[in-house]
């Protein structure tokens, strides 16, 4: 069973107040206000370019705000000192469709980097060069087993399939045990079986106390969350129970997005096409080294 979050004793509340983010003349987020309770889980949906990824970057102070305020546990994220920000980021776990793994390292070492926030510089370097220490190694093996790739601990990550790499990225979260999980399109490039396994682990982390936000294109998966938030052109246009997401509301949310589900195009075909396109992008860039 997934352990409880370790970064703090209490999972923080997340609050956005009239947040706007612009890149040049392009508006990515506009006047977004949102509150997420400790331990809550919610899905974020919207067409491509709706602002979902920008929202997640803003939650880690990865994008500058033009207006508004983001608070974590009542503290303004954008006024924290470098030391305070580092501490907050240790409690935030991220997972992306591009995985953000180091392909030249083994799956076990990549998963062990979930604990890098608690390591000193020497211990981190030793982990890179010689692998995790015995205590951490035990946690890593358990995490890899939990996501179904326990036999891949010593395999070079670049040699794994896309679905296996995604599971390693989730195992890194299990090792980290963050207070807040931001999963940005974690199912876009993986098969349905892997999707179910990854989703189960994310939900288990949520049940153990972590707050969970997941960006999704697949509305069917979004309906499995108790709360759904929708963005359109950077604005919040829906926040509520998935039972209220009828065809009319979905048509409004996805209006103008040719790749979105519609009456003319079966949803399953649209989702499969997106996964194929995302898989191609991942394969084209899998030799690049990305940071966690």
* pLDDT tens track, the chain, 292 positions: 455 555 444 556 899 999 999 998 899 999 999 999 999 999 999 998 899 999 999 999 999 999 999 999 889 999 999 989 988 888 999 988 777 898 998 999 899 888 876 665 666 666 666 666 777 888 999 999 998 899 999 999 999 988 889 899 999 999 999 999 999 988 877 788 888 988 999 999 999 999 999 999 899 999 999 999 999 999 999 999 999 999 999 999 998 764 444 333 334 444 444 444 444 343 333 333 333 3
How many Å apart are CA 148 and CA 128, to the nearest integer? 23
Helix residue spans in 115-217 (DSSP H):
121-130, 134-146, 162-176, 192-207
How many Å apart are CA 255 and CA 253, to the nearest integer? 6
Structure tokens at 286: 């899998």
Residue 97 dihedral angles phi and psi, to the nearest 5°:
-65, -20
pLDDT of residue 38: 94
Q: How far is CA 119 from the centre of its chain?
A: 23
Say if residues 261 and 247 touch (Cβ distance below 8 Å). Answer: no
pTM: 0.80
Q: How far is CA 74 from the centre of its chain?
A: 22
Q: Using alpha carbons only, what angle is made at residue 20 by residues 73 and 84, rounded to the nearest 5 degrees?
A: 35
> Quick one: which of 68, 36, 14 has its CA closest to 228?
36
Structure tokens at 200: 């189960």
Say if residues 117 and 140 touch (Cβ distance below 8 Å). Answer: no
Rounded (10°) CA dihedral 195, 200, 15, 72 = -110
pLDDT of residue 202: 94
Using a 10 angstrom Cβ sphere, with 0-12 exposed, 13-18 middle and 19 or more buried, the burial of residue 77 is: buried
pLDDT of residue 263: 37
Rounded (10°) CA dihedral 146, 151, 153, 159 = -120
Q: What is the DSSP string of 73-104?
A: TTEEGGG--HHHHHHHHHTEEEEETT----TT
Say if residues 53 and 213 touch (Cβ distance below 8 Å). Answer: no
How many Å apart are CA 115 and CA 124, to the nearest integer? 9
pLDDT of residue 11: 58
CATH architecture, domain 14-284: 3-Layer(aba) Sandwich (3.40)
Residue 245 dihedral angles phi and psi, to the nearest 5°:
-85, 80
pLDDT of residue 117: 61
- Supply the DSSP symbol for 32: E
pLDDT of residue 277: 44
How many Å apart are CA 200 and CA 203, to the nearest integer? 5
pLDDT of residue 124: 64
């Amino acid at each position: 069973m997934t352990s409880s979050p370790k970064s703090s004793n209490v999972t923080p509340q997340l609050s956005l107040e009239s947040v706007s983010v612009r890149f040049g003349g392009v508006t990515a987020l506009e006047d977004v206000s949102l509150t997420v309770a400790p331990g809550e889980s919610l899905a974020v949906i919207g067409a491509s370019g709706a602002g979902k990824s920008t929202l997640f970057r803003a939650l880690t102070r990865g994008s500058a705000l033009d207006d508004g305020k983001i608070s974590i546990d009542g503290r303004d994220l954008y006024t924290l000192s470098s030391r305070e920000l580092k501490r907050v980021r240790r409690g935030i776990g991220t997972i992306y469709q591009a995985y953000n793994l180091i392909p030249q390292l083994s799956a076990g070492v990549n998963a062990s980097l979930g604990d890098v926030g608690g390591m000193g510089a020497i211990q981190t370097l030793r982990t890179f060069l010689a692998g995790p220490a015995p205590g951490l190694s035990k946690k890593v093996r358990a995490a890899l087993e939990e996501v179904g790739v326990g036999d891949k601990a010593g395999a070079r990550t670049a040699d794994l399939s896309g679905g296996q790499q995604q599971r390693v990225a989730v195992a890194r979260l299990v090792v980290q045990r963050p207070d807040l999980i931001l999963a940005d399109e974690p199912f876009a490039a993986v098969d349905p079986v892997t999707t179910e396994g990854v989703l189960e682990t994310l939900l288990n982390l949520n049940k153990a106390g972590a707050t969970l936000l997941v960006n999704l294109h697949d509305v069917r998966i979004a309906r499995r969350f108790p709360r759904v938030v929708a963005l359109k052109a950077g604005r919040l246009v829906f926040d509520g129970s998935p039972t209220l997401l009828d065809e009319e509301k979905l048509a409004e949310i996805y209006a103008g997005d040719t790749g979105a589900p519609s009456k003319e195009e079966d949803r399953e075909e649209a989702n499969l096409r997106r996964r194929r396109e995302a898989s191609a992008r991942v394969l084209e860039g899998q030799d690049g080294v990305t940071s966690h």
